[in-house]
Structure 1
Amino acid sequence: MTSVAIKGSRYRIKPEEADKYGPFNRTFLAEGDSWMDASAWNQGSLPEYLAREFNNLGRTNLIVNVSTSGHTLTRIVDMMTDDFVWWLDQQEYDGVLFSAGGNDFIDAARDTPPGQGILHDMHGQPLPENGDACVRQDALQDLVAYLNTNFEAIYQALRTSRKNANTPIYLNCYDTPVARDAPAFRNFSGPWLYTAYTNNGIDPSLWDALTQRLFEEIKDTIQGWTVGRAGVVAVATTGRMDKADPKATGDSFDWVNEIHPNKSGWKKQVPAWLAVLPP
């Protein structure tokens, strides 16, 4: 008996590569961003490390992984009818493992002209007392409202599906990184927070507190998705990983780059999921 995590694109064309290890006691669908897909080219993913731990526990489970690194919640919703909904129609799952929202926050801080996203343009401004002064509250509220609307679309797709109307969805709440110049690929992917803060002229002395604030907002937003929605579970993923050295430009402690776990980081994340997933 063996637990398997397999990419959905592979499972569609070669299902026998996974099914030969069955029959499976439980089957999960993983959807979302790089926290569900892969943190770097040479690293594993949360589903992979979950499958390893399932094996250690003597469980025979299948995780079909349809997530895509870099995807925002908005992008997942835009592609929903082409991918997520199709997979929901294939079979009944014991749970959907879902990670989204983090990229939306980061993009709103990084991929806009200074002062036009969720951060103020602090160039030439006096040094504020704390990082809160760097956050545009109106833009932040608009972003949260927008994400809430998009998650409702995901939730309704699940609840109106023919085979998974009662399937629980488990939400990744991320963990808090350290803003530092540690991209996944230089000049291609990242850094993320480091770029956002430097673009907006935010003093490095405020970076740690500002990052804490933003990731508290991300966690609170995701935990808010559980309110009034049956079968929606926020996984307690925060506060589990050791922070990286802010001067490190690569792998450091539990982080392979600025915002993604490395192998030891994934291992620390797995128990949070095992605590809520069905045995």
Structure 2
Amino acid sequence: MTSVVITGKRYLTKPEEAEKFGPFERTYLAEGDSWMDSSAWNQGSLPEFLVRGFNRRGRSRLIVNISTSGHTLTKIVDMMNDELVWWLNQGTYDALLFSAGGNDFIDAARDAPPGQGLLFDMRGKPMPANGYDCVNPAALQRLVDYLNVNFAAIYQAVRSSGKNAATPIYLNAYDTPQARDAPAIRDLAGPWLYTAYTKNGIDPALWDQLTAGIFKDILHTITAWADGRSGVHVVPTSDLLDKAVPGSTGDSKDWVNEIHPNKSGWKKQVEAWLPLLS
């Protein structure tokens, strides 16, 4: 018995590459951001390590992966009619594995001009007692409200699809990283939080508190998506990983770069997923 992950595009053109290992006990559809995207060979992903976990347990599972690194929840909703809805109409899945929201928070902190996004511009201002005081609560509320509307659209798309109206949705809850100057390999992307904090003049002594507060907000936002929604489950992945060494610029502890786990980190993450999917 063998488990396999294959990208949606590859499955359409070369289905035999996966089907030769079938028939499969269960089939999952994975959608989301870089935590789900398997295209970064040097980084790893949840589906890749889930498959390894299934294989260690003698399970036969297929994961069709339509995730895209860097995608925000907003982008997923914008593309929904072109991709996610199409895949929902192709077959019945035993679960939708979904990772989104983290990039939306990070982009809101990093991409806007200083003081115009999620963070206050702290340049020239007294250092607050708590790093989380650097978060603009009005901007946070606007972001959360916007994400809630977007997830509602995803949920409605799944529930209104004839074949997957009852398909469970499992939500990635991420884990809290260490803000540091650790981009993806060869500076292809990132750093993310480090850029946001330095742009807004936030003292490094505040970074740990600020990052912990932001990722609690991410967790609370994602957890709330399951409230009152049938079949939506939040996977308890927070507080599983050992944080990287402050000031490190590469692979450290359970992190390959600033915001993505390494091999040891992914192994810890999937241990929270496997019991729910088995």
Q: TM-score range by the shorter chain?
A: over 0.9
One-letter code aligned to 1:153: A
The answer to whether the 8 Å contact 1:29/1:65 transfers is yes
Which residue number in structure 1 is paired with residue 26 of structure 2? 26
Paired letter, 1:11: Y
2:107 is matched by which residue type in structure 1? D
Query: What is the Cα deviation at residue 41 of structure 1?
Result: 3.6
The two structures have a TM-score, normalised by structure 2, of 0.98
Instruction: Name the residue aligned to 2:270.
Output: 270
Q: Is the 8 A contact 1:40 1:256 kept in 2?
A: no
Counterparts of 2:89 and 2:2 in 1: how far apart (Å)? 25
Per-residue CA deviations over 1:42-77 (Å, capped at 9, x if unaligned) read 132111111111111111110000000000000000
2:88 counterpart of 1:88: yes
Which whole-Å deviations, capped at 9, do the CAs of 1:15-61 have from their partners, x for residues lacking one? Answer: 01000110100000000000111484413211111111111111111
Residue of structure 2 in register with 1:109 after alignment: 109
Per-residue CA deviation, residues 197-242 of structure 1 (Å, 9 max, x unaligned), is: 0000000000000000000000000000000100000000001111
Structure-2 separation of matches of 1:115 and 1:187: 26
Deviation at 1:187, TM superposition (A): 4.8
Question: What residue number does 1:224 align with?
Answer: 224
Does the aligned pair in 1 maintain the 2:32–2:66 contact within 8 Å?
yes
CA distance in 2, matches of 1:43, 1:187: 13
Q: Distance in 1 between matches of 2:246 and 2:111?
A: 22
**Paired position in structure 1 for 2:206:** 206
Count, aligned residues: 278
**Equivalent in the alignment of 2:51:** 51
Q: In structure 2, what is the Cα distance between the partners aligned to 1:177 and 1:88?
A: 33
Q: Counterpart of 2:42? A: 42
CA distance in structure 1 between the aligned counterparts of 2:257 and 2:243, rounded to whole angstroms: 11
- Give the Å deviation of 1:185: 4.1
Residue 159 of structure 2: aligned partner: 159
C-alpha spacing 1:8/1:227, structure 2 compared with 1 (3 Å): same
Q: Structure 1 segments of 4 or more deviating over 3 A?
A: 38-41, 185-188
Higher deviation after alignment, 41-50 or 134-143: 41-50
The residue type paired with residue 158 of structure 1 is V
1:16 counterpart residue number: 16
Q: CA deviation at 1:186?
A: 5.0
3-state DSSP of counterpart to 2:81:
helix
List gaps (5 residues or longer) in structure 1: none
Q: Contact conserved, 1:39 with 1:256, CA < 8 A, in 2?
A: no
TM-score (norm 1): 0.98
Tell me, yes or no, if the aligned pair for 2:38 and 2:47 is still in contact at 8 Å. Answer: no
What is the rounded CA distance, in whole Å, between the counterparts of 2:80 and 2:45 in structure 1? 22
Equivalent residue number for residue 176 of structure 1: 176
Q: Could you tell me how far 1:114 is from its partner in structure 2?
A: 0.3
Q: Which runs of 5+ in 2 are unaligned?
A: none
Assess, with a 3 A threshold, how the Cα gap between structure 1 residues 181 and 39 changes in structure 2: closer, same or farther: farther
What CA deviation, in whole Å up to 9, does each residue of 1:130-169 have, x standing for no partner? 0122010000000000000000000000000010000000
Equivalent residue number for residue 253 of structure 2:
253
The 1:208/1:11 distance shift into structure 2, 3 A limit, reads same
Q: Give the stretch that moved more between structures: 185-194 or 85-94.
A: 185-194
1:101–1:222 Cα contact (<8 Å) kept: yes
3-state SS in 2 of match to 1:276: helix
Alignment check: 8 A CA contact 1:39 1:262 kept: no
Following the alignment from structure 1 to structure 2, what is the Cα–Cα distance between the partners of residues 39 and 191? 19
Q: Distance in 1 between matches of 2:183 and 2:276?
A: 32
**Counterpart amino acid of residue 276 in structure 1:** L
Which structure 2 residues correspond to residues 122-137 of structure 1 after superposition, within 5 A? 122-137=122-137
Residue identity opposite 1:169 in structure 2: I
